[in-house]
Structure 1
């Protein structure tokens, strides 16, 4: 960071992690995830524990509004809020702000920008460039800035992968449904959402063995109002290495080594899974 002359660090929506980031820099964290664990010495602006729990984009908008003319940036706060909570989130003033930004334009822009990150191309940097060039959600929706066509290609790829991987037959153990598939795209959260609608009484785990080499990335969802973080942490499971049980109570998951993921499935009641069950493979859905 010293090479670019940074004087401070601002981190948005980091999640519930207490590990240090850059200890030598003054740090401000803007977040909404359910945690009290933050890097030592960091200043924190968090909506966790307050109702309604507003997303980091809206917190950021409130933070900078006294320093700038906020109106031209309102659509960005709306974009982030809709991406996190959906267009019908029960937040004060969202309905009017969404009307000003254009509901269709906002939802389409959210879909395109998210697809860039989920794509096998991992075009997150392109999505950021599009976002920085745009002056409104309509600029993205209507393709008035360079890069939108590539985002549309990413979206089409993600849609195809979600459809393919959603054909995976679930394994059932008690009230848990496990879907094992392999995709280079980050589609496991979307597959979990889709199957949670089909199996409303189950906790759905969509596990992707093809996203990161040597790891299984997985997402938990349920239509029931369950605390999924508490569910994972309550398992009789020895400590694991990797990302595990972070995020939101109703939308969590992780990224584990194949070995640790097999230990997780054993604790969940899925007997007999072997290393070859969680290997990268071709386009077969399950």
Structure 2
């Protein structure tokens, strides 16, 4: 088990502290963070940690269902928060600024695609093992503030992204301290808010902020936690239907055609990657966003799915979809229907 004590962590902590030193405590500091359990956990750890450091004017922003920091809609969300300093958590990095002129710190574990000149990129992508974003952020804060009691929140993000056997000491310690069943249940509930059809991940963030440990969260009867339970039930029912879908094959790709308002395509792709270990699994959801197809790509064969996707050239117009970001073994994208049809044709599929 790793405790993340490494030269890479020391350098990351120094870069994080240096960025904070240039973000005045009285200024407006904003975090744009992902909506999955790791992203929400990172956002909550960030908020609580910075408050303990004396930053009083804080705001968290969660992107829409496209989960892309650089879309016009999500940039508008960030602009509305009036940032003087910006953190982008668990949403990748690019050489293009999210908000030009605003000093930005990217904290992430996906494959980096650069960073704007003068901004700070803290990426764990080359570390071994690679920590998820909420765990990384918790470790960055530990020398600066007392955040030991936020370990369970970082553990939820870690369990969500890396699973029960994540190779970090935090997981085993958190299981002993809080009991594994409560951590797993809390992780499922927190994830449900972004998977359900109504997409309200702020509910998950409020639930984390309102409770002191995973058992208190899972046993709560508050409106937010009840909403998470309802979301979980909806996702479970959608998954039962989606599991009945059979794959269609073309070359090395297995395509599963889904139609659900719930974000179940990553889960279905993950299930089928082990059933079809010699294939690249493409789980595509035609019902998630109007006029678009959102898809997840996984492989158990050692194929780098990022490189695979980037080898499919569509020459998309600006703002007309994206794909091929994320992890070497877990990627995907979102395309308008007309471009999705071209994407399938490139793979050798036909669509009716």
Per the normalisation by structure 1, the TM-score is: 0.89
Give the superposition deviation at 1:229. 0.6
Measured at CA, do residues 249 and 107 of structure 1 come closer, stay the same or move farther in structure 2, by a change above 3 Å? Answer: same
Partner of 2:252: 175
Residues in 1 aligned to 2:286 and 2:94: alpha-carbon distance in whole angstroms: 24
Give the superposition deviation at 1:93. 4.4
Residues in 2 aligned to 1:45 and 1:25: alpha-carbon distance in whole angstroms: 17
2:130 counterpart of 1:53? yes
Partner of 2:102: 25
Give the superposition deviation at 1:38. 2.1
Say which SS state the counterpart of residue 34 (structure 1) adopts.
coil
Aligned pairs, number: 272
Partner of 2:338: 259
The answer to whether the 8 A contact 1:130-1:146 is kept is no
Partner of 1:284: none
2:271 counterpart of 1:194? yes
Residues in 1 aligned to 2:267 and 2:114: alpha-carbon distance in whole angstroms: 28
Partner of 1:239: 315
Q: Which residue of the other structure, out of 34, 41, 48, is the alignment partner of 2:118?
A: 41
Partner of 2:18: none
Measured at CA, do residues 94 and 7 of structure 1 come closer, stay the same or move farther in structure 2, by a change above 3 Å? Answer: same
Structure 2 gaps of 5+ residues are: 1-77
Q: Which residue of the other structure, out of 96, 116, 122, is the alignment partner of 2:173?
A: 96
Give the superposition deviation at 1:208. 0.7
Give the superposition deviation at 1:88. 0.9
2:332 counterpart of 1:249? no
Residues in 2 aligned to 1:16 and 1:172: alpha-carbon distance in whole angstroms: 33
> What are the Cα deviations for residues 99-145 of structure 1, in whole angstroms up to 9, with x where unaligned?
22321111111111111101001121211111111111112222265
Residues in 1 aligned to 2:159 and 2:217: alpha-carbon distance in whole angstroms: 15
Give the superposition deviation at 1:41. 2.6
Give the superposition deviation at 1:262. 1.0
Residues in 1 aligned to 2:235 and 2:213: alpha-carbon distance in whole angstroms: 24
The answer to whether the 8 A contact 1:119-1:185 is kept is yes
Residues in 1 aligned to 2:228 and 2:125: alpha-carbon distance in whole angstroms: 32
Residues in 2 aligned to 1:256 and 1:243: alpha-carbon distance in whole angstroms: 6
2:261 counterpart of 1:184? yes
The answer to whether the 8 A contact 1:78-1:101 is kept is no
2:298 counterpart of 1:208? no
Q: How does 1:121-160 map to 2 (within 5 A)?
A: 121-143=198-220, 145-160=222-237
The answer to whether the 8 A contact 1:175-1:203 is kept is yes
Residues in 1 aligned to 2:243 and 2:340: alpha-carbon distance in whole angstroms: 20
Q: Which residue of the other structure, out of 67, 79, 89, is the alignment partner of 1:12?
A: 89
Say which SS state the counterpart of residue 255 (structure 2) adopts.
strand
Residues in 1 aligned to 2:193 and 2:314: alpha-carbon distance in whole angstroms: 35
Residues in 2 aligned to 1:32 and 1:102: alpha-carbon distance in whole angstroms: 27
Give the superposition deviation at 1:49. 0.9
Measured at CA, do residues 86 and 184 of structure 1 come closer, stay the same or move farther in structure 2, by a change above 3 Å? Answer: same
The answer to whether the 8 A contact 1:133-1:145 is kept is no
Residues in 1 aligned to 2:244 and 2:261: alpha-carbon distance in whole angstroms: 16
The answer to whether the 8 A contact 1:87-1:103 is kept is no
The answer to whether the 8 A contact 1:180-1:207 is kept is yes
Q: How does 1:218-229 map to 2 (within 5 A)?
A: 218-229=295-306
Measured at CA, do residues 133 and 20 of structure 1 come closer, stay the same or move farther in structure 2, by a change above 3 Å? Answer: same
Say which SS state the counterpart of residue 39 (structure 1) adopts.
coil
Partner of 2:46: none
Measured at CA, do residues 132 and 179 of structure 1 come closer, stay the same or move farther in structure 2, by a change above 3 Å? Answer: same
